[in-house]
Amino acid sequence: MGSVSSKSGVRERSFSVRSPAAMRRLGACLGTLLRTGDFVGLIGDLGAGKTVLTRGIAEGAGVSESEVASPTFAIVYPYRGRALLLHHADLYRLADADELYATGFFDLLGQGATVVEWVDRVPEAMPPERLLVRLVRTGERTRRVELEPLGARHEELARELAQGYRRRAG
């Protein structure tokens, strides 16, 4: 189901997700693990499952499903979950860091957990410590998920996520 390898000194974990429902369960697992200050950047092509994963993250963080919307037009959307503020951002429509700066995004970092779709479109959005989740389409419904943590907290987060997801997918 998965492997652990080294890539440029950053531990990378990868495993397969076989359906949108499984992607959502992965997100829910991640959402239960998030703490204030955590930063999760999502990378993947259109239709790779970033929004499905984010909906699962919100669910796991205790956010009501009816509150979760795509912030494509608002850029950043806050959700109040289980004693955790969750900021959900979508950078798809942004051209550069100046546009992101104008949204007040950087002022929100550290005030809760942050999940950012299309984070690779504005790399300056990423703090030095983070968890990148790369979604790669491997079939119509299947995806390879690659976890790339930077920093001790996000290394722990990636380890707990990989272990928790494997237990559930068992």
Strands (E), 9-112: 10-17, 39-44, 76-80, 85-90
Are the CB atoms for 110 and 128 separated by under 8 Å?
no
How many domains is the chain partitioned into structurally?
1
pLDDT for the residue numbered 4 = 34
58: left (phi over 0), alpha (psi -120 to 50) or beta: alpha
pLDDT for the residue numbered 73 = 56
Mean pLDDT of 114-133: 95
Is the pLDDT at 86 greater than 60? The verdict is yes
Mean pLDDT of 1-7: 36
Is the pLDDT at 170 greater than 90? The verdict is no
- Residue 116 sits in a domain whose CATH number is 3.40.50.300
Are the CB atoms for 115 and 88 separated by under 8 Å?
yes
pLDDT for the residue numbered 145 = 95
pLDDT class of 167 with cuts at 50, 70, 90: confident
Is the pLDDT at 9 greater than 70? The verdict is no
- pTM strictly above 0.85: yes
Closest to 58 (Cα-Cα) out of 74, 81, 37, 76: 81
Instruction: List, for residues 23-80, the tens digit of each pLDDT value.
Output: 999 999 999 999 999 999 999 999 999 999 999 999 999 998 777 766 555 677 778 8
pLDDT for the residue numbered 69 = 66
Residues in Cβ contact with 3 at an 8 Å cutoff, skipping those fewer than 6 apart: 13, 14, 15
pLDDT class of 142 with cuts at 50, 70, 90: very high
pLDDT class of 127 with cuts at 50, 70, 90: very high
Domain range spanning residue 38? 2-169
